[in-house]
Every structure is written in C-alpha cells, then in structure tokens.
Amino acid sequence: MKKVVCDNYEAACIFAADMFSKQLERKPKSVFGFATGGTPLGIYKELTKRAVAGSMDFSQSCAFNLDEYYPISRTHPQSFYHYMNKNLFSKVKFHSTDIPSGEATDIDTECKRYDAAIKASGGIDLQLLGIGTNGHIGFNEPSASYSLHTNFMRLTADTINANSRFFSSEETQPTEAISMGIGTIFAARSIILLATGAGKAQIVRKLFDAKLHTDVPACFLLLHPDVTLILDKEAAGA
C-alpha cells in the first residue's frame, strides 16, 4: 500500500482527481468504481469542474458504485442513487452508470446481475474507497468471515450511528444494504483509499501496525498489489 499524505482535504481530493485524470488519459474506456459518503464529495466536485472545463472526458467510461442501502427508493434523498446523480452523474456524461438497486425484489438476482455487469464491462480499472471508523470498506462490516461477491449486508451499530448524520429524525434510516464483496473490490486493478479528518486517524493507524487485523476489512487491502492510500494530515496523525 502506497501512502500519500496531503496538507489538507482539498489537496487530498486534487491528488485523487489527478489519478482519475491519468487513468482516463491512459484508457478513455476506463471502468471506474465510485464510493459515497462525506469523504468523496471533494473529488466529485473536482472531477465535475474538470469535465465541465473539458479537461476530462468520461463519455466513453463506465461507472459502478460500491453499494446501496436496502431497501430504499431511488428517489429517496439519502439513496446512493440520488447521491451519485446529484454529485456527479447529472453533471458529467458517462457511457454508462450502474448502482446496486435498493428497489430490487430479489436480492440474490440483483447481486448476481451486478457482479456479472462488472465482469462484462471488463472489470474495474480504478476503484475509489472510503473507510469507516470501524474499518469497513463498502458495507463490508467487521466480521468473522466476508462475502467475496456482491451481497446483502447488515450494517453494524457503528455504521448506523456514523451515517445517522445524513438522516433527519423523521426519516427511517436503513440498517441493511447491498454491497460489493471484498472479492469484488479486490478484483479492481487499482484502488484509491481516501481517508481524511482526525476521526479516521485511529483506524488508519491500524493499517500500519504490521498486522492483518481480520476484524478490520480494510486490512485486506494490504494484500492488494496497487492501492494508494491518500490522507490529509489529520487522518495521518501528522
């Protein structure tokens, strides 16, 4: 795992956006994996700015997202479908976009469809990941065993608590989701793991104590050949 420490959140997002630019230059038909949550917002802002200015062209590239709450309507303001449209897909033209469906009637069929769609696209070239304070990636929560493929996931109390900031008190917060599995994520050729803010310093430290903590899903990334961990000074504990 390559570690890059940037001065602040904005610089971290620009570093990540530069990696997207380079990938697109190398391969205009790239397949990208995107993440949701608070952390990637600055990257989407930067990618939108560059695409609108004409310095990046995603029109030949495909996009897949890590996960989606389940069940949730696409029109729900907290669905990841809504988030991606609001923050990227309504402003930047992609050849195709795909997100696990929170409206699927048959979860198993939807999970299989999703993995097959990623495979049919040629596989993900560059996957963006955030990290939960409990070490989750996507919605792969700390557990005794992990799903290799896209699957139905139950969120832990930590994650429900961390994400409650996005839901108003009148809204029912989902406690389950469909997420790429560890194997789906691992199949990406290159991965960016972005962690910013002091709240992530503790879990980031765990990635660097020379142990494979099996209760920290992000630790599996230590075994992947091409992961860039981008941090700001706070998350790096610097």
Q: Which of 87, 134, 140, 163 is catalytic?
A: 134
Beta bridge partners of 32: 63, 126
Q: How far is the CB of 127 from ligand PGA (least distance, A)?
A: 12
The residues with which 231 forms a beta bridge, in sequence order, are 5, 195
Residue 136 annotated among the catalytic residues of the structure: yes
Q: What are phi and psi of 87, to 5 degrees?
A: -95, -15
CA angle in degrees (0–180, nearest 5) for 124-62-51 = 115
Length of the chain as a residue count:
238
Decide whether 59 or 161 has the Cβ nearer to ligand PGA.
161
132 contributes a contact to ligand PGA by CB under 6 A: yes
**Residue 164, number of CB atoms within 10 A of its CB:** 12
What residues numbered 32-91 form the site for ligand PGA, per CB under 6 A?
Answer: 37-39
24 vs 134 by CB, closer to ligand PGA: 134
CB-wise, 24 or 188, nearer to ligand PGA?
Answer: 188
- CA 184 distance to own-chain centroid: 12
CB of residue 39 vs ligand PGA: minimum separation in angstroms? 3
CA dihedral 11, 12, 14, 15 (to 10 degrees): 120
224 in active site? no
- DSSP symbol at 189: S
141 is annotated as an active-site residue? yes
Stretch touching ligand PGA by CB under 6 A, among 10-18, 31-39, 180-188, 227-235: 31-39
CA–CA–CA angle 176, 201, 220 (5° rounding): 55
Per-residue binder mask for ligand PGA (CB under 6 A), 92-131, x = binder: --------------------------------------xx
Closer Cβ to ligand PGA, 30 or 39, answer by number: 39
Shortest distance, CB of residue 66 to ligand PGA, whole angstroms? 8
Catalytic residue among 46, 65, 67, 140: 67
- To ligand PGA, the closest distance from the beta carbon of 33 in angstroms equals 13
Query: Cis bond leading into 71, ω under 30°?
Result: yes
Is residue 234 flagged as an active site residue? Answer: no
Q: How far apart are CA 235 and CA 237, in angstroms?
A: 5
Of 214, 223, 66, 207, the C-alpha closest to 143 is 214
CB of 130 to ligand PGA, least distance (A): 3
Residues in contact with ligand PGA, counted by CB under 6 A, come to a total of 6
Dihedral angle computed from the Cα positions of residues 72, 74, 77 and 79, in that order, rounded to the nearest 10 degrees: 50
Active site residues: 67, 134, 136, 141
Residues that bind ligand PGA (CB under 6 A): 37-39, 130-132
